[in-house]
């Protein structure tokens, strides 16, 4: 889908979308069009439930003799309450509506924004961003065209007072959208094509944007002593990999600044191993690499918009399979930091992968802060459903910054507690640690976070459990169902707000 920005003027053809504010308040352009067609828009509004509140939408086919073919009224509610998410949602909502109608080209007019807190150029750029995010589909395995389900909309022009500003603002957002799309692609890809080595190859694509890529194979990880990560992958015919992605965007005095680090769990398929999962729904375990997918998409977004920060992305890639050579319950492995771990359940494998990836990252890069993302526990879905990711941290400032970034972009996180009482549950009677808690089903997400904390040293660290967020079974305005790309926008914002321009 193509995007353009223009000054405010009525288009000569195709579809037109104009705003209506709270209590049926037509914008100037909406009024002008209404007058041109003899009050037809006002009549249509009066004959419907349309009230001008956020999310309201009404389509009117233009009468004969009119230049445009279709007019969409969209409600925006109270101007002073509008947020960037509202404009993004508008873009997505229009795309879905117009694809349903078969429209090919649309001009969206944003006029009379009044006391809206966003600049009109930013608002316009957000509309295009939301539309772009909504336009994503994963269709590389469809071999037959189905014109009826193909999206019809090919171009959106957003008109506002200062279109040059909008065009500029959209450049960065487009780079972020490309990052989100990479994450969605990776998460959607099945495990027979996306396995540790092929995932690592996909990361190499980022070198064209200036990201330095390093891939550690099993030999290298063996020499580093990554027994926790390697144990998970030992039942698979696919070789485990650890990918390091580096973006050095800080300049001048800040160029030598320590990096910030993002670490992702990349279990390309999780059968549970010898502690085999039940069959129903197991296909969903292709996206147990969602944390690694988000870190990779984030690196693409940051490099794409040339973020002024030094960032390291590290992803641990494995496949967890049952096999004659697979890890057994009861096995004891030694992690890179020398700690021994008794494996009581081979399906609690993500924390074993992260244990070595986290330790390696803080040991090698001494980052200012370290954030890991993982589809770590089903328990987090019991706690928070699919509305917020779980946030765990050893640092209140860092937790607050992540929360604020989530609020700003509409990707929520909610912090859960950590304490010694939970940490006790992972003390093994015969090794330093055990990989599941003694508390049964209670507080499973927190106990998992306590396990990770054993491998972060003194680094300010946060863990985001995205098990409920990486995949969606329903459409939202800017996220089509399937891989969501959750976390890319959140962490891009986190970097921008806290590590650029300071």
Minimum distance, C-beta of residue 344 to Zn ion, in the bound complex (Å):
13
Neighbours of 334 (CB within 10 A): 16
Q: To 10 degrees, the CA torsion angle through 404, 407, 410, 413?
A: 70
Residues 467/468/470/473 CA torsion (nearest 10 deg): 140
122 vs 347 by CB, closer to Zn ion: 347
Task: Return the SS3 of 419.
Answer: coil
Q: By C-beta, is 22 or 282 nearer to Zn ion?
A: 282
Contact 302, 492 (CB under 8 A): yes
CB of 273 to Zn ion, least distance (A): 8
The alpha carbon dihedral of 215, 242, 266, 173 has a sign of negative
Shortest distance in whole angstroms from residue 288 CB to Zn ion? 7
Of residues 413 and 467, the one with the C-beta less far from Zn ion? 467
Please identify, using beta-carbon distances, which residue of 267 and 423 lies nearer to Zn ion: 267
CA triple 210-216-217, angle to 5 deg: 140
- The active-site residue, picked from 254, 277, 306, 415, is 277
- Give the nearest distance from C-beta 276 to Zn ion in angstroms: 10
Instruction: Indicate if 126 belongs to the active site.
Output: no
What's the rounded Cα separation, in Å, for the pair 62 and 232? 61
The answer to whether the CB of 307 falls within 8 A of the CB of 249 is yes
Of the two residues 85 and 345, which places its CB atom closer to Zn ion in the complex?
A: 345
With CA atoms as reference, report the closest residue to 216 among 96, 361, 348. Answer: 361
CA gap 198, 202 in Å, rounded: 6
Least separation, in Å, of the C-beta of 270 and Zn ion?
4
Catalytic choice (238, 351, 489, 496): 351
Nearest distance in Å: CB 470, Zn ion: 14
Catalog residues that contact Zn ion under the rule CB under 5 A: 270, 347, 349
Q: Which residue number, 178 or 347, has a Cβ lying nearer to Zn ion?
A: 347
Report which DSSP code applies to 476. B
Question: What is the sign, positive or negative, of the torsion defined by CA atoms of 326, 317, 388, 444?
Answer: positive
Task: Give least dist CB 350 to Zn ion, A.
Answer: 6
Identify which of residues 201 and 284 has a Cβ nearer to Zn ion in the complex.
284
Q: Cα separations (Å) of 54 from 88, 208, 362, 393?
A: 12, 41, 45, 35
Q: Which two tokens stand for residue 315?
A: 């992803």
Beta bridge partners of 183: none
Active site residue 351: yes
3 state SS of 161: coil
Instruction: Classify 228 as helix, strand or coil.
Output: helix
Q: Active-site positions?
A: 277, 351
């Amino acid at each position: 889908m193509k995007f353009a920005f223009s000054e405010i003027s009525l288009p000569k053809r195709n579809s037109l979308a104009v705003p209506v504010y709270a209590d049926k308040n037509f914008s100037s352009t909406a009024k002008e069009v209404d007058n041109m067609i003899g009050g037809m828009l006002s009549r249509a509004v009066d004959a419907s439930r349309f009230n001008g509140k956020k999310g309201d939408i009404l389509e009117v086919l233009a009468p004969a003799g009119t230049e445009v073919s279709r007019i969409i009224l969209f409600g925006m509610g109270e101007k002073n309450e509008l947020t960037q998410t509202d404009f993004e949602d508008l873009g997505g909502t229009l795309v879905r509506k117009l694809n349903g109608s078969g429209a090919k080209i649309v001009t969206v007019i944003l006029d009379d924004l009044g006391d809206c807190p966003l600049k009109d150029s930013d608002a316009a750029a957000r509309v295009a961003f939301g539309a772009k995010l909504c336009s994503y589909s994963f269709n590389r395995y469809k071999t037959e065209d189905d014109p009826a389900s193909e999206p019809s909309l090919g171009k959106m022009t957003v008109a506002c007072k200062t279109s040059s500003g909008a065009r500029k603002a959209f450049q960065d957002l487009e780079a972020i959208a490309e990052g989100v799309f990479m994450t969605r692609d990776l998460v959607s890809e099945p495990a027979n094509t996306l396995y540790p080595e092929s995932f690592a190859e996909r990361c190499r694509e980022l070198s064209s944007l200036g990201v330095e890529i390093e891939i550690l194979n099993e030999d290298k990880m063996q020499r580093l002593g990554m027994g926790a990560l390697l144990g998970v992958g030992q039942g698979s015919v696919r070789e485990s990999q650890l990918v390091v992605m580096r973006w050095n965007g800080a300049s001048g005095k800040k160029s030598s600044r320590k990096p910030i680090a993002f670490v992702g769990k990349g279990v390309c398929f999780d059968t549970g191993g010898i502690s085999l999962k039940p069959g129903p729904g197991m296909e969903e375990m292709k996206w147990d690499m969602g944390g690694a997918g988000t870190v990779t998409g984030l690196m693409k977004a940051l490099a794409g918009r040339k973020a002024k920060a030094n960032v390291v992305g590290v992803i641990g890639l494995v496949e967890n399979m049952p096999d004659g050579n697979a890890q057994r319950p009861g096995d004891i492995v030694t992690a890179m930091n020398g700690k021994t771990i008794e494996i009581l359940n081979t399906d609690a494998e993500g924390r074993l992968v992260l244990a070595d990836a986290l330790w390696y990252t803080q040991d090698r890069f001494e980052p200012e802060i370290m954030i890991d993302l993982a589809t770590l526990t089903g328990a987090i879905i019991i706690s928070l459903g699919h509305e917020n990711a779980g946030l765990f941290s050893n640092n209140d400032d860092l937790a607050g910054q992540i929360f604020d970034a989530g609020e700003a972009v509409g990707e929520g996180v909610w912090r859960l507690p950590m304490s010694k009482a939970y940490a006790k549950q992972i003390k093994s009677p015969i090794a330093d640690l055990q990989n599941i808690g003694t508390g049964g089903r209670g507080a499973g997400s927190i106990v998992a976070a306590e396990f990770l904390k054993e491998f972060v040293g003194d680094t300010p660290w946060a863990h985001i459990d995205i098990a409920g967020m990486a995949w969606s079974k329903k459409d939202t305005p800017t996220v089509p169902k399937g891989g969501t790309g959750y976390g890319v926008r959140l962490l891009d914002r986190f970097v921008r707000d806290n590590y650029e321009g300071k």
